[in-house]
A and B are shown apart, each in its own frame.
Chain A
Amino acid sequence: MQRPSLCNDMPAAMPASAPAATSSVDIVNFAFTPAAITIKSGAAVTWTNKDADAHTVAITGAPVSRPLQTGETYVHTFGQPGTYSYICTIHPQMHGTVVVTST
């Protein structure tokens, strides 16, 4: 007797660490949230500083953003597909990743 396999019918579970499909990142409690995002090539990401302290966005291979005071935003448009890591130059323990996929 063959038992139907329930498992095979279930959609593959998303790994907990899957990058969020969003183009907005909040800076809150000294962390980029979400820390990892995925966007399509040519899309822009907007960072909004919601902390009381100032932060920057320093993406590998790009000029560092101006320092963002509370409530200020920074927008960067990504062209080449790839994985871009970034930090805050004031607090380099803060880091995030943007995965850019081809359109």
Chain B
Amino acid sequence: MAEIDRRGFLKCMAWAGTGVAWTVAGGLLSGCELGGASKPSARRTRDLYFVQISDSHIGFRGPANQDVTGTFGAAIDQINALASRPGFVMHTGDLTHTSTAAEFDTVKQMMSTIKAGGTFQVPGEHDAVTGDDQAYLGIFGKSATGSGYYSFDLAGVHFLALVNSVATQGMGHLGQAQLDWIRKDLSGLSSETPIVVFAHVPLFAMYPAWGWSTNDAVQALSMMKRFAAVTCLNGHVHQVMSKVEGNVTFHTARATGFPQPKPGEAPNPGPLTVPSNLLHQAIGIAEARFSARTGHVAVIDDTLP
């Protein structure tokens, strides 16, 4: 872990845990709110606080979680009870389990109850289970390009929302059209611009034997080498893992639906059943704080209450 990240991490660790600490965090984070014209400033960036959720699998039925709608609702309640209102909430895919219209409708309605500056999403492979992503795009892809990718800027940070889970090849895949789009999207940015990349499947080789990797991620990341700090946030694996590689920090989020085994600790990936009283400790949300001072994103992974 890079020193700057370790410091950021330790600082964040101090926030986590108690209500009192969160009051302090609320003070620290008060500058993160969106909205209102920001005053002209010499700084190119400002602090930003956002939340990542992932892998809700609405429609899943099984012993790993008898009520995925309930735990997604609990995650939303957790976000809505945070001391600071997030600038936005990003769902990194597998919104649904089997891509039905009813499942997407449930997700859309539940996402609309999130109290944040906005909500975003990228699809997972469970949002296009038959390889057809039209149901997802019809609801969530209106302002996106191609298979549903897009970018946006907030607080001087450039965010990319990528799709590497549709038309997969046994693992994540971006495809040439999207790679071309990324090159174009990044071309006008100064190298000091902080970059945050969202995608469903890890953009690093977390565990290729289970498809927990993206086979053309290196091409995308090579376009980001010139930037001072790149943060890649993904879901898909239903567990927390971090990795730093040069200028890029990778972080995987817990699911709101159910956990999965650690790499290699089961014959295959898939829903992991834990005792029901331990389920909330195995799923949760990820709070992310971009610090204008350090130029880095620090992530705090919270399990469900």
Q: Chain A, 44-81, contact with B by CB distance < 8 Å: what is the 0/1 string?
A: 00000001111010100000111101100000000000
Is A64 in contact with B211, judged by CB distance below 8 angstroms?
A: no
- Given A30-B270, A92-B169, A56 contacting B64 (CB threshold 8 A): no
Is A53 in contact with B130, judged by CB distance below 8 angstroms?
A: no
Inside 8 A of B125's CB, which chain A residues have their CB? 90-91
Count A-side interface residues using an 8 Å CB cutoff.
20
Q: Which of A's residues lie within 8 Å of B, judged by CB? A: 29-31, 51-54, 56, 58, 64-67, 69-70, 89-93
Is B170 in contact with A92, judged by CB distance below 8 angstroms?
A: yes
Complex partner residue of A70 from B61, B99, B169, B267, CB under 8 angstroms: B61
Q: How far is the CA of A92 from the CA of B126 in the complex (A)?
A: 12
A-B contacts besides A54-B126, A64-B131, 17 pairs, CB < 8 Å: A31-B268, A51-B268, A51-B270, A52-B63, A52-B64, A53-B269, A53-B271, A56-B130, A66-B98, A67-B98, A67-B99, A67-B130, A69-B62, A89-B131, A91-B125, A92-B169, A93-B171
A-B contact pairs, 5 of them (CB 8 A): A30-B268, A31-B268, A51-B270, A64-B130, A93-B170
Inside 8 A of B99's CB, which chain A residues have their CB? 67
State whether the Cβ of B30 lies closer than 8 Å to any Cβ in chain A: no
From B94, which residue of chain A is reached at the shortest CB distance? A90
- Given A30-B270, A52-B271, A69 contacting B98 (CB threshold 8 A): yes
- Give min CB distance, B225 to chain A, whole Å: 30
- Chain B residues touching A, range: 20 to 34
Q: How far is the CA of A60 from the CA of B273 in the complex (A)?
A: 34
Inside 8 A of A30's CB, which chain B residues have their CB? 267-270
Q: How far is the CA of A21 from the CA of B273 in the complex (A)?
A: 35
Question: Chain B contact residues: over half helix, strand or loop, or mixed?
Answer: loop
Is A92 in contact with B168, judged by CB distance below 8 angstroms?
A: yes
Is B126 in contact with A90, judged by CB distance below 8 angstroms?
A: yes
State whether the Cβ of B296 lies closer than 8 Å to any Cβ in chain A: no
From A70, which residue of chain B is reached at the shortest CB distance? B62
Complex partner residue of B270 from A52, A67, A92, CB under 8 angstroms: A52
Inside 8 A of B271's CB, which chain A residues have their CB? 52-53
State whether the Cβ of B129 lies closer than 8 Å to any Cβ in chain A: yes
State whether the Cβ of B97 lies closer than 8 Å to any Cβ in chain A: yes
- CB-CB contacts below 8 Å: B190-220 with A: 211
Q: How far is the CA of A31 from the CA of B210 in the complex (A)?
A: 12
Complex partner residue of A67 from B62, B129, B169, B268, CB under 8 angstroms: B129
Q: Chain B, 112-138, contact with A by CB distance < 8 Å: what is the 0/1 string?
A: 000000000000011001111000000
Is A54 in contact with B98, judged by CB distance below 8 angstroms?
A: yes
- Given A67-B98, A90-B125, A93-B170, A53 contacting B270 (CB threshold 8 A): yes
From B64, which residue of chain A is reached at the shortest CB distance? A52
Q: How far is the CA of A89 from the CA of B169 in the complex (A)?
A: 9
From B271, which residue of chain A is reached at the shortest CB distance? A52
- Give min CB distance, B165 to chain A, whole Å: 10
Q: How far is the CA of A89 from the CA of B211 in the complex (A)?
A: 13
- CB-CB contacts below 8 Å: B227-270 with A: 267-270
Inside 8 A of A89's CB, which chain B residues have their CB? 129-131
Is A29 in contact with B268, judged by CB distance below 8 angstroms?
A: yes
